[in-house]
Amino acid sequence: MARWGACWDDAGRWQARLWAPGADRVQLVLNGREQNMARDGDGYWSATAHPGIGDTYLFRVDGRLVPDPASRCQVRGVHGASVVTAAADFPWQVPWRGRDWAEAAIYELHVGSFTPSGTLAEAETRLAGLAALGFTAIELMPLGQWPGRRGWGYDGVLPFALHPAYGAPDDLRRFVDRAHGLGLMVLLDLVMNHFGPDGASLHLTSPEFFDPGRQTPWGAAIDFSQPAVRAYWTECAEYWLAEFRLDGLRLDAVHQIAGPGARQFLADLALRARGAGAGRAIHLITEDERNLPDLRQSGYDASWNDDFHHAIHTLLTGEDQGYYASFARDPMGDLALALARGHVEQGQPRPGRDRPRGAPCEHLPPTAFVNAIQTHDQVGNRAQGERLLALADPAGVRMAYALLLVAPYIPMVFMGEERGAQSPFLFFADYRGDLAQAVRQGRAAEFADDPSFGGAVPDPLDPATLERSRIDWQDQDRARPWLDLTRRALDFRRESVVGLLKSGRMGAEVQRHGRRGLDARWRFGAGTLRIVLSAGAVEDLPAIAAPQFRLGRPGMDPFALCASVEPS
């Protein structure tokens, strides 16, 4: 039985539960009728009732009415009543046991801007096209509810509740079932390190949920020393994995899951998440700016590798502000390091950085690194939301994109990248009143002193900002060569690289040629993958006699890449 929220037990009884250890009195208010709840020794309050599906309920905690912090359905906004949902009884059509992680080629997708309607139902109609290109996994940006209808999802306050702007829970189930029928895994981005600034009722019901001595950059830190707090998040993860047959989770900013109890929580979460798969392969990915191998050595499959992104970005754009500073000194050398060992920064001193970052990670397999040349973070956290094509030579972007897809690390593509999209991905939200004005002013102030982010910052509260961020599906002439490149590169990956990854890595060697040339070899049990590339200059490069994948002519074209696999 879940410790948090309101749900049906195996005997068909509906029980509502809330952890409020400091409260003197808690009542369940079901369809306006109040019922006292009983407290146990751990600070949980519970009541059994007999609602109908669609009935509404709230908790009254010491006289204050609040929605369920673990609400599974919240159609009247984050401050409104929670809704009683039926026990899951979806007619799944596809028998699915998952896929090997070595087969992952990820497509990161924001439901709200992916299609004109911004719904799961319309997104489902695009899955067949992505599968045909060779993608094998969809990573959904957060779905848990936040205030209003527009947002990225990282300021969610009801992490169990699918945002109704995207559709109903069965719409997500149909999306996943369709994806599985096409051979696509579905991963979900979950935010467990903070809540958004409006609508987090836990601040009222359970202030003990938060750590008074620590703040994250986005709000109050969470106290993972509390067993009830750990239970909240493990149950949240289990809910999404079990109820919607997801294939895994991407955990946002785990470096902010800190303090007493955090390590135990992350270890327990990995075990519980895999148990929730009911025999399916479950994959767990982290975002962790520390560049540490620890979690990937103890239950987690991979981590986002910003180092690869930063090396490519500085190489192609010449930008050197902010977190690009340490990568702008020798981006070609950093790219060679990223290709040879995954992370660039592994604890060594670096020009442009005040203190070392990271620890040795080259012993990890290539599948422990999720590489990208664009993500929602790196595009959307620019003032103008520019994609790489707006900042760099298109030929260079094509070379970098091909490298991403054929190199032995796990590739992730940001939606639209596969078709050469030029629409920005801007920051947008849907707050009201003083908070809306504070967000608007804060966003403008963030970039006020940075000359590299020219022009007025788009108003994140203006509905037009979301509209500008939608994928343009009509520009087929621009899309055609990018779609062809995507298909060819992912075909090569499927036919030649995946088998090597499954055979085990034995070593890597990356040689630099001139200023802008590389010759890389990765040895595996089943053979050697070789990539030769030029990245902005004509260099004297060794040739691959019969490349199985080619983009231009390395050594003759400024931006070009060839790849082949030599069997053992």
Catalytic residues: 252, 287
Q: Are 3 and 19 in contact (CB under 8 A)?
A: yes
> 34 Cβ partners below 8 Å, 6+ apart?
27, 28, 60
Is 377 known as a binding-site position? Answer: yes
The tokens describing 519, both together, are: 């010759």
Per the annotation, does 253 bind a ligand? yes
Burial of 113 (0-12, 13-18, 19+ CB in 10 A): buried
**Residues near 91 by Cβ (< 8 Å), separated by ≥ 6?**
none
Residue 309 marked as a ligand binder: yes
Is 43 annotated as contributing to ligand binding? no
Q: Please indicate if the annotation marks 163 as binding a ligand.
A: no
Strand, helix or coil at 176? helix
250 is in an annotated binding site: yes
Tokens 């990161």 locate to 108
**Strand duo 185-190 + 137-140: pairing:** parallel
499 has binding-site annotation: no
- Bridge pairing between strands 82-83 and 210-216: unpaired
The answer to whether 380 is annotated as binding is yes
- Known binder of ligand: residue 376? yes
Indicate the DSSP class of residue 386: -
78 labelled as ligand-binding? Answer: no
Alpha carbon distance 71, 77 (integer Å):
11
Pairwise CA distance, residues 530 & 553, whole Å: 15
The verdict on whether residue 255 carries a ligand-binding annotation is yes
- As to burial, measured by CB atoms within 10 angstroms (0-12 exposed, 13-18 middle, 19+ buried), residue 38 is exposed
Residue 251 annotated as part of some ligand binding site = yes
Tokens for 237, please give them: 């993860």
Within a 10 A sphere around the Cβ of 369, how many other Cβ atoms?
Answer: 23
Reading the block at residue 376, the tokens are 């929602």
CB 445 within 8 Å of CB 383: no
**Cα distance between residue 168 and residue 161, in whole Å:** 10
Q: Per the structure block, which two tokens stand in for 84? A: 């009683």
Tell whether residue 252 is among the known ligand binding residues: yes
Residues annotated in a binding site: 250-255, 306-310, 376-381
Residues annotated in a binding site for substrate: 250-255, 306-310, 376-381
